[in-house]
Amino acid sequence: MGHSSLCERNAKWLVSSFFAAFAATACAQLSPAPEPLHVMPLPSSIQRSSGELVLGSNFHATLQGLHDARLDAAFDRFLTRLDRQCGEIRRAQHDAASGARSLLTLRVAGAGAVVQGVDEDESYKLTVTASDAELSAATDVGAMHGMETFLQLVEMKGGACRLPAVTIDDWPRFRWRGLHLDVSRHFEGVDVIERTLDGMAVAKLNVFHWHLSDDQGFRAESKKFPKFTELASDGQFYTQDQMREVVAYARARGIRVVPEFDMPGHTSSWLLAYPEIGAGENIKSLPIQFGIPQSELDPSNEKTFKFLDEFIGEMATIFPDTYFHIGGDETKGRGWLENPRIAEFMKKRGYETPEKLQAYFNQRLLPILAKHGKKMMGWDEILTPELPKDVMVQSWRGEASLAAGAQQGYTGILSAPYYLDAQKTAEQMFLADPIPADTKLTAEEQKRIWGGEICMWGEQIYPETVDSRVWPRSLAIAERFWSPQSDRDGEDMYRRLRIASLELEDVGLTHISGPEKLRRNLAGSAHPEALDAMASVTEPATFSERYNSQRTDRLTALDRLIDAVVTDPPARQEIAREVNDALNASDEGARRAAQMELRKRFEQWQNAAPKIAALASRSARLNDEQVRAKQLGQLGTTGLEALSYLEMHTPAPAGWLDAGRQVLSEAEMPSGLLRFVFLPDLRKLVEAAGAPSAQR
């Protein structure tokens, strides 16, 4: 039984949709092109062979070598998911005679570090032949990544679960692949955190950055400083048991937890509870407005550092990770300048600007962190010449800022391009690279860039919408962090993203079902069909657009249609493809099929428009979108007319093109909180129909 590698190639091509074209040249004589794989993030190296492994009633998986409770639990979760995909896996596993031949063997060399560090070996090797499979890894963490890959290779075909014969050698490009979640502006319960961690495990992300305090709420229970949550959490916080539970849950999935307590600014919640360590602002309640309220810790007061020493010491018993994130962003320092005592302190020490006082504050934190076994991590602003090189900088200002840090000798990670509420497409974020191919950094400097973090800020999300804001786009970014730099094929990324997105719902996320539910709620007792149609081709306005339009604050009910639509919906690519085929497909059948698909859509839009208008007249929650609803109908009509002229090879009447352009231009203008995702493509269709040469 030979498993000769037929067409060894760089992984990229072998899983990509371009494969067919390449295979035609390279392997035509050898075999038909194998179906593309669904693995996401793309592995570092894939070799495909002939044949496939069938997971039947003889299924039997065994753990060999060292194994521990963490691996056992991961293996058990793996079997549960495999059982849900294939059925009867648990029964086969249960019934397997002892000593039966193992169909899947896991070999793990060692457990990995007790406290997972940045140097954890996360690699694994997975070999599947037509007779069996073997997964080997140096640590539990690598084994877990390998099990995720195994699950993605499985496909139900011809009544049975199968895996293609394949050899995968895989390891991450970056060691720091994080997701930052702000739970201060809106609180997210432990259930949300845990399902987020489940999603991260699928995406092979390995750092959960937990933004636990900010102006709008202090979310971590301190027993030494109980007023934090008594006075400054609105009752919404994590108990210490819960935080330990989250840390354990994350560790069980190979994920580190880095807590952030943002200081010395963004500390209204601190100062509501403990005004004595503040610069003198009189905080009477948690601020309603988001933004940068004036509130700073007082670096001139020794009590502040004593307080922080005790507090950080307490948190260090809960969060074992080496890194402790001190925030450090957006401290304007107005309170410092306005407080005569602090101003005097600055003068005495020669600190001419608040930045200098903040650098002093950070320097004072260093020995405190070190005392409790922690290294400092912070946002861009902490990067000042006063700080030693082993602090870790998280760049929210951009690639240039990150590169500059690396040149100065600082380690850092990139976050700026991965702000989810900027509503960029999965592809845009996927293509943003912490170390672009054309980087000017030396090899040595490049080594200081450890990866990146996806950022989910909390002002405009709440537990029912967080999933659909984070996923599935985070998968695309996770692939950037994990896969080779050369992996830049957006079309293939989307192909795999669609499948992996469904997998995320299976592990408990609600990024598809959640928005559906919200639309059902918005429709009240009516059928949500029309809202679904609208949602399929719109996406949310950006964070700032929404803020400018709605003046979102802590009291804003996040219950509009914008909360029930997703960024970069699948229809964006579908419509692009359909328009392209409708205009350019050389095959007449393909052209007609694409035109039919478009016709169906346009009719759907026409039908939806008056229904949404009717719903909106009843509900304040929908009436922001009256204009968009009307436009959707007009765009549908315009599209149908364009199709008719194209299909009938009839020139559009005089004035039609101008009218169509007018409809498109109006739809491009901001209105309400939704944006159409198909306008450039519809414009192509309209221009083609209106062109004198439309008679094709």
**Which positions touch a second copy (CB under 8 A)?**
73, 83-84, 86-91, 94, 155-161, 191, 235, 241, 288, 498-499, 502, 505-506, 510, 512-514, 516-517, 520-521, 524-525, 555-557, 559, 617-621, 623
Phi and psi angles of residue 334, each rounded to the nearest 5 degrees, phi first: -65, -40
Full 3-state SS string of 168-222: EEECCCCCEEEEEEECCCCCCCHHHHHHHHHHHHHCCCCEEEEEEEECCEECECC
Q: Which of 514, 538, 422 is nearest to 466 (CA)?
A: 514
What is the pairing mode between strands 538-540 and 449-456?
A: unpaired
Instruction: Tell me if 15 sits within 8 A of 41, measured CB to CB.
Output: no
Beta-carbon count within 10 A of 71 CB? 24
Is it true that the peptide bond before 172 is cis, omega within 30 degrees of 0? no
Host H or E run for residue 583: helix 571-584
State whether residue 355 is helix, strand or coil. helix
Instruction: Tell me if 283 sits within 8 A of 301, measured CB to CB.
Output: no
Beta-carbon count within 10 A of 276 CB? 11
Question: What is the number of residues in the chain?
Answer: 696
Rounded Cα–Cα distance for residues 396 and 406 (Å): 15
Q: Residue 448 has what DSSP assignment?
A: T
Instruction: Tell me if 112 sits within 8 A of 139, measured CB to CB.
Output: yes
Cβ within 8 Å of residue 350, ≥6 positions away: 356
Q: Residue 540 has what DSSP assignment?
A: E
Q: How large is the C-alpha radius of gyration of the chain?
A: 28
Locate 329 and state its tokens. Answer: 């962003």
Instruction: Tell me if 112 sits within 8 A of 121, measured CB to CB.
Output: yes
Rounded Cα–Cα distance for residues 327 and 258 (Å): 11
Q: Tokens 């979108």 correspond to what residue?
A: 625
Rounded Cα–Cα distance for residues 539 and 425 (Å): 10
Instruction: Tell me if 480 sits within 8 A of 430, measured CB to CB.
Output: yes
**Is the alpha carbon torsion for 525, 529, 534, 538 positive or negative?**
positive
Instruction: Tell me if 622 sits within 8 A of 616, measured CB to CB.
Output: yes
Phi and psi angles of residue 378, each rounded to the nearest 5 degrees, phi first: -160, 175
Burial of residue 319 (number of CB atoms within 10 Å: 0-12, 13-18, 19+): buried
Full 3-state SS string of 25-84: HHCCCCCCCCCCCCCCCCCCEEEEEEEEEEECCCCCEEEEECCCHHHHHHHHHHHHHHHH
Within the chain, how many helices (H) and strands (E) appear? Answer: 27, 18
Locate 554 and state its tokens. Answer: 């802590």
What is the pairing mode between strands 160-170 and 45-55?
A: antiparallel
Q: Which residues pair with 126 in a beta bridge?
A: 135, 168
Full 3-state SS string of 470-521: HCCHHHHHHHHHHCCCCCCCHHHHHHHHHHHHHHHHHCCCCCCHHHHHHHHH
Rounded Cα–Cα distance for residues 605 and 529 (Å): 11
What is the pairing mode between strands 375-379 and 323-325?
A: parallel
Rounded Cα–Cα distance for residues 175 and 117 (Å): 9
Rounded Cα–Cα distance for residues 594 and 610 (Å): 26
Rounded Cα–Cα distance for residues 23 and 200 (Å): 33
Report, in Å, the least distance between residue 428 CB and a second copy.
Answer: 24
